[in-house]
Amino acid sequence: MKKELKYILILCFVFSLYFIANKALFSTIYYAIQDIVKIFQLSFPLTYLTVGLPVLIFVYLTNNKKVLEPLGLKSNIIKGIFYSFIFSLPMFLGYGISGNFEISLSQKTFWIGCVFAAFFEEFYYRGFFFGLLFKNTKLGFFLSLFLSAVVFASLHLYQSNEAATLIGIFITTFLGAGLFAWLYVEWNFNLWISIGLHFFMNLSWSMFTVSENAFGGWYANLIRIITIIFAIAGTIYYKKKQGIPLALNRNTLFLNK
pLDDT tens, residue by residue, 208-242: 988 776 667 888 889 999 999 999 999 999 999 99
Asked if residue 157 and residue 81 are part of one domain, the reply reads: yes
For the chain, the first-to-last Cα distance in angstroms comes to 14
pLDDT for residue 42: 97
Last residue of a domain, one of 42, 67, 92: 67
Asked if residue 171 and residue 85 are part of one domain, the reply reads: yes
- Structural domain that includes position 193: 69-257
Asked if residue 172 and residue 56 are part of one domain, the reply reads: no
The whole-model pTM stands at 0.92
Residue 25 has pLDDT above 90, yes or no: yes
Amino acid at 183: L
Asked if residue 234 and residue 132 are part of one domain, the reply reads: yes
Give the C-alpha distances (Å, rounded to integers) separating 68 from 53, 180, 194: 14, 18, 15
In the structure, what pLDDT confidence band is assigned to residue 124 with cuts at 50, 70 and 90?
very high
Domain count for the chain, please give it.
2
- Judge whether 231 and 117 are in contact, CB under 8 Å: no
d(CA 214, CA 130): 22
Last residue of a domain, one of 45, 67, 89: 67
pLDDT for residue 157: 66
Last residue of a domain, one of 67, 82, 115: 67
Asked if residue 170 and residue 59 are part of one domain, the reply reads: no
Asked if residue 8 and residue 79 are part of one domain, the reply reads: no
d(CA 152, CA 51): 16
Residue 148 has pLDDT above 90, yes or no: no
pLDDT for residue 7: 94
Asked if residue 87 and residue 43 are part of one domain, the reply reads: no
Asked if residue 76 and residue 62 are part of one domain, the reply reads: no
pLDDT for residue 159: 66
Asked if residue 188 and residue 116 are part of one domain, the reply reads: yes
Asked if residue 234 and residue 114 are part of one domain, the reply reads: yes
Q: Pick the most confident of 56-60, 170-174, 215-219.
A: 56-60
In the structure, what pLDDT confidence band is assigned to residue 162 with cuts at 50, 70 and 90?
confident
Percent of the chain having pLDDT more than 90?
A: 73
pLDDT for residue 152: 66
| Three-state secondary structure call for residue 99 | coil
pLDDT for residue 150: 75
Asked if residue 140 and residue 13 are part of one domain, the reply reads: no
Asked if residue 230 and residue 109 are part of one domain, the reply reads: yes
